[in-house]
Amino acid sequence: MDDIDTLITGIITAVSESKLPETEKADVLAQLTVGMHRLVWPILLSHVPQYLLDDATGSPERFTMDDYVEMIDVALKNPATAKEMHDELKGALTEVSALLTKSL
Residue 1 confidence (pLDDT) above 60: no
Residues of the chain with pLDDT > 70, as a percent, come to: 99
pLDDT averaged over every residue in the chain: 94
Band (pLDDT 50/70/90 cuts) for residue 24 is very high
Residue 15 confidence (pLDDT) above 70: yes
Average pLDDT estimate for 56-62: 87
Supply the pTM of this predicted model. 0.84
Distance CA 88, CA 52 (A): 24
H helical segments located in 1-78: 2-17, 22-46, 50-58, 65-77
Q: What is the pLDDT of residues 40-52, one digit of tens each?
A: 999 999 999 999 9
- The predicted structure's pLDDT at residue 95: 96
